[in-house]
Amino acid sequence: MDWLPHITVATIVEDNGRFLMVEESKGGRTVLNQPAGHLDPDETLIEAAVRETLEETGWDVEPTGIVGIYLYTAPSNGVTYQRVCFTAKALKHHPDYQLDDGIVGAKWLTRDELMAQRANWRSELIIRCIDDYLGGFHFGLELIRPSL
């Protein structure tokens, strides 16, 4: 059996203590996540973060740094995900943008509001990334090297 980790990106967009979050339908439930998704073929990690944020929230963003790189094995299916978590600045909202299938909508939540909705998290990576961000884990985009 081949083991194939999934490469994903997530974006933390913070504005005055509120974080841009996504409500999405997963497994018959509505769950919360950062704007996040899989890396597509012929796409850079930075391009993926910008694209996923727009597709899931209707927001254009400018990546400003990296919070961390995380490995997570989902207990629901045993799949291992490698997540590169970016920070980004919100640039422009497109309220009429057609969001991806399964996306209920975007909302801005404080950390406390997120904690109150723990049962609705897609995974524990949500709070881990936010807490690392709040703890000062900020690395430059140059951490990602160009492909050979």
Per-residue pLDDT tens over the stretch 50-83: 999 999 999 999 999 999 999 999 888 888 999 9
pLDDT of 2 higher than 80:
no
Confidence band, pLDDT 50/70/90 cuts, at residue 147: confident
Domain ranges of the chain: 6-142
Q: b vs e for 65-95, b when ≥16 Cβ sit within 10 Å of the residue's Cβ?
A: bbbbebebeeeeeeeebebbbbbbebeeeee
- Give the H/E segment covering residue 67: strand 59-73
Confidence band, pLDDT 50/70/90 cuts, at residue 1: low
Count CB-CB contacts under 10 A for residue 100.
13
How is domain 6-142 classified at the architecture level of CATH? Alpha-Beta Complex (3.90)
pLDDT of 139 higher than 70:
yes
pTM: 0.93
Q: How far is CA 54 from CA 11, 71, 95, 97, 133, in A?
A: 11, 24, 11, 8, 21
pLDDT at 38: 95
